[in-house]
Amino acid sequence: MGYLFTSESVSEGHPDKVADQISDAILDELLRQDPHSRVACETFVTTGLVVVGGEIKTSGYVPVQKVVRRVIERIGYNKSEYKFDAGSCGIISVIHEQSEDINRGVDRDSEENQGAGDQGMMFGYACKDTEDYMPLALHLSHLLLLELAAIRREAKQMTYLRPDSKSQVTLEYSDDNRPVRVHTIVVSTQHDPFDDDEERMLAKIKEDVQNILIPRVIKKLNSSIAGLFRDFILHVNPTGKFVIGGPHGDTGLTGRKIIVDTYGGKGAHGGGAFSGKDCSKVDRSAAYAARHIAKNMVAAGVADEMLVQIAYAIGVAQPVGVYVNTYGTSKVKLTDGEIATHVQKLFDLRPGMIIRRLGLKNPIFEATAAYGHMGRKPYTDLVTFIENGKEVKKEVEFFTWEKLDYVDSIKKEFGL
């Protein structure tokens, strides 16, 4: 009979994502100056106010006001009628120094033996739904909002758009777990009050979503996925008008969109958020490493679908456990437990080695804080660092955990 599966995404203007982007921007600013910074930065946003707190150990200095206002301006909150704008919002910083009790459990004489910044379990997942080995419902949810943001910035069509928005995609799957069609799409977007007639205004927004947004999304898809868009149900702003939004409509907090950040409910999640944390925190680094493993393993042909769990004890370098689940899709004559043993042979999962392998001391994290940390295209860019009081530009890799750089090694290990 098949089944339905749903994932959601939220835009860069969603209050929780505003908070995530601020936290990661502050992290990046510190890493530009001191790559050994220890950062756990939390942000709270509400009507006209940003509160930044957390624990930091660094030799750098972050101009909190400047960084926060830059992020808010980039997102698009730049008008007083939004009740939250870059030029006038209040900003309070209550950052203090990291606990020495935590720090001594992490730092070691050598980077290789650096202890985990906390206990916990982290998951990585990959499947063959898309070319990026991501679950399709989440991929489409992100793409809807990325394209909506592009339309907003072009300011040629749908000129009433405001920064806050959400999407949701429900897919119909066959019994053999293959997507058959797009069943339901939900788009909720903040907008200007551009018509006194509310029904006419809502009808115009729905018409534009159907005739402008969705066709632009479909054009970006390969033919097999584009063909899934047929006879779908469409809900646009189903509660009615959506003028009040962003941090004025709802408070935002760092780390409240962890499923949007990862796999849209597919696989599993250990509960730890990413944004605002340097990568001595395995909540972040090990989750990236687990995705890197799962993606390369599926790309190499070990399985069509894979979940990888890595678990740690605080202050201990070696993981306490590595778990693999191929959901019965394994292509090798090994149990999932045996596959996990090979994973530990191929990948050094000590936090210090993950950080080195993936380049996680670089200021690369603001780019991750909206539209998902996983399934993004790796790229390089010039980044300005501060060294000995001088600005130095260096080429830096972003989304390194998405690189398919272990496929050949995995094929050799598994005889594929």
Do the Cβ atoms of 185 and 168 come closer than 8 Å? yes
Q: Which residues of 67-105 are buried (b: 16+ CB within 10 A; e: fewer)?
A: bbbbbbeebbbeeeebbbbbeebebebebeebeeebeeb
DSSP designation for 88: T
> Residue 14 annotated as binding?
yes
Q: What type of residue sits at position 292?
A: H
> Residue 81 annotated as binding?
no
> Residue 257 annotated as binding?
yes
- The torsion angles phi and psi of 153, rounded to 5 degrees, stand at -75, -30
Rounded CA separation 273/101 (Å): 21
> Residue 176 annotated as binding?
no
Rounded CA separation 324/327 (Å): 9
> Residue 338 annotated as binding?
no
> Residue 242 annotated as binding?
yes
Side-by-side strand order, sheet with 161-173: 3-10, 161-173, 179-191, 233-236
> Residue 398 annotated as binding?
no
> Residue 42 annotated as binding?
yes
- Output the six-digit token pair for 248: 């004025």
Cα separations in angstroms, 135 against 93, 120, 141, 171? 38, 24, 10, 10
Per-position DSSP letters for 53-101, written without gaps between them: EEEEE-S----HHHHHHHHHHHHT---GGGT--TTT-EEEEEEEEPPHH
> Residue 147 annotated as binding?
no
End-to-end CA distance of the chain: 34
Side-by-side strand order, sheet with 38-46: 90-97, 49-57, 38-46, 252-253
> Residue 166 annotated as binding?
yes
> Residue 411 annotated as binding?
no
Do the Cβ atoms of 370 and 20 come closer than 8 Å? yes
> Residue 277 annotated as binding?
yes
Per-state percent for the chain, helix, strand, coil, to nearest 5: 35, 25, 40
> Residue 164 annotated as binding?
yes
Q: What residues contact 154, with CB distance under 8 A and at least 6 apart? A: none
Q: What is the CA radius of gyration of the chain?
A: 22
- Output the six-digit token pair for 119: 């206990």
Cβ–Cβ contacts within 10 Å for residue 53, how many?
18
* Annotation: binding site for L-methionine: 55, 98, 250, 281
* Annotation: binding site: 14, 16, 42, 55, 98, 164-166, 241-242, 250, 256-257, 273, 277, 281
* Annotation: binding site for Mg(2+): 16
* Annotation: binding site for K(+): 42
* Annotation: binding site for ATP: 14, 164-166, 241-242, 250, 256-257, 273, 277
